[in-house]
Amino acid sequence: MADPVAAGRAEPRGTRPRRALSRRNVMLYGVLIVVALYYLLPLYVMVVTSLKGMPEIRLGNIFSPPMEITFEPWVKAWSEACTGLNCDGLSRGFWNSVRITVPSVVLSIAIASVNGYALANWRFRGSEVFFAILIFGAFIPYQVMLYPIVIMLREIGLYGTLSGLVLVHTIFGMPILTLLFRNYFASVPEELFKAARVDGAGFWGIYFKIMLPMSLPIFVVAIILQVTGIWNDFLFGVVYTKPDTYPMTVQLNNIVNSVQGVKEYNVNMAATIITGLVPLVIYFISGKLFVRGIAAGAVKG
C-alpha cells in the first residue's frame, strides 16, 4: 500500500489558512445560533417557571429568572400532585411507564429481529406473502383497531393490565421493526451466511454468533425508535389501562388538565420536564452509541 504521507510530501503541507470571521462563517453560525435560541426558549421558560413559587408566577414576567429558587414544584409534581383519587404524583406513572416500556422494547425487538433474520436469510415458501401482510399492517390506522383490541384483551383477561398494554405495543411495533431488521440482514453478504451453514451453524447458531455481533447499529436504532415511541405513547395507554396503571404521559395530562382549583403552572412545568427527561436521556446516551455502532460497521471487512 502506498504511504499517503510520503506521497503528499512533495506538495505544500498543512491545511489552508482560514479566517475565523469570514462572511460564510458569520452567516452559518449566526443562523445556527438564532435557530438554537428559538428552540431553546420554550425549554428556558419551562425550567425557569418550574423553579418559581406561585406568587412570583402571578407577576407575569415569564422570561425573568426566578428571584427565589424553589424545588417545591418538582417535589410536588413527582410525589404529591393529585390525579383523581391518587395523590402520589407522577412517580406512579413513571414506574408504570418503565414497566410498560422495558418489556415492550425487549420483546418487540427480540421477536422482530428473529423475524427479520428468518425473512432475509431463510426464505421459506410464502415468506414474501407473509412479509407483505406484515408490512400492510403498518398502514392500517390505529383508530380502526382500538375497539376490537379492547374486546380481544377483555376476552383473554388482559384488559386494563400492564401486560395487556405490553402485548399491544409489541404487536404494533412488529411491522416497522421487522422491515428494519429484514433490510439490515439482507444487506449482510449472503456468502457469510452460506459459510456459516457449511461450518455447521444452525438457525440460532448463525443468529447469535454471526448476525447479532454484526448488527449493533440496527439494534440501537430499533431501541431508540421503540423507547421513544412507547414512552411517548398516549393513545394506547389511555385506552387499555386503568387509572392505577396509567403510564406517565396519561398521568401528566391528567395533572396538567385538571380543572379543579388553581392552575399550578410551576408544578405542570416540572411534571412535563420530568416526563420528557427519559427520551432525552436515551437520545443522549444511545446517540453516542449509535455513531460508534455505525463507525464499527463501516470498518468491517
Partner 1 sequence: MNQMTNPAATSVAVKDLRLAYGSLTILDDLSLDIGEGEFIVLLGPSGCGKSTLLNCIAGLLDITDGQIWIKGRNVTWEEPKDRGIGMVFQSYALYPQMTVRGNLAFGLKNAGLPRGEIDKRIARAAEILQIQPLLDRKPAALSGGQRQRVAIGRALVRDVDVFLFDEPLSNLDAKLRSELRVEIKRLHQQLRNTMIYVTHDQIEALTLADRIAVMRGGIIQQLADPKTIYNKPANLFVAGFIGSPAMTFLKGQIGERDGVRTFEAGGSTIALDQYRGEVPARGTAVILGVRPEHVAAGHVAAGHGAAGHGAAGHGAAGHGATGAGGAAAKVEIDEPMGSDSLLWLRFAGQALSARAPAEHGFKAGDAVSLGFDISKASLFDTETEQRL
Which residues lie near partner 1 (CB under 8 A)? 189, 191-192, 194-201, 205, 209-210, 213-214, 299-301
Instruction: Find the shortest distance in angstroms from Cβ 301 to partner 1.
Output: 4
Q: State the Cα–Cα distance between residues 93 and 89, nearest whole angstrom.
A: 8
Q: How far is the CB of 189 from partner 1 (least distance, A)?
A: 6
* Site of grid cell 379543579: 260
Identify the CA nearest to 182 among candidates 108, 113, 127, 134: 113
Q: Which is nearer to partner 1, 210 or 227 (CB)?
A: 210
CA separation for the pair 100, 169 (Å, rounded):
9
Q: How far is the CB of 191 from partner 1 (least distance, A)?
A: 4
Using an 8 Å Cβ cutoff, are 110 and 260 in contact? no
Q: Which is nearer to partner 1, 55 or 213 (CB)?
A: 213
Residue number with CB closer to partner 1 (58 or 194): 194
Residue 99 or 197: the one with the smaller Cβ distance to partner 1 is 197
Cell digits of residue 32? 445556527
- Return d(Cα 177, Cα 116) in angstroms, integer: 8
Cβ distance to partner 1 smaller for residue 199 or 244: 199
Taking the alpha carbons at both ends of the chain, their separation in whole angstroms is 17
Least CB distance from residue 299 to partner 1, whole Å?
Answer: 6
Nearer to partner 1, 95 or 208 (CB): 208
How far apart, in whole angstroms, are the C-alpha atoms of residue 55 and residue 73?
13
* Nearest to 238, CA basis, from 247, 227, 225: 247
Q: What residues form DSSP beta bridges with 241?
A: 160
Provide, rounded to whole angstroms, the least separation between the CB of residue 222 and partner 1.
Answer: 19
CA distance 193 to 212: 12
Q: How far is the CB of 213 from partner 1 (least distance, A)?
A: 4
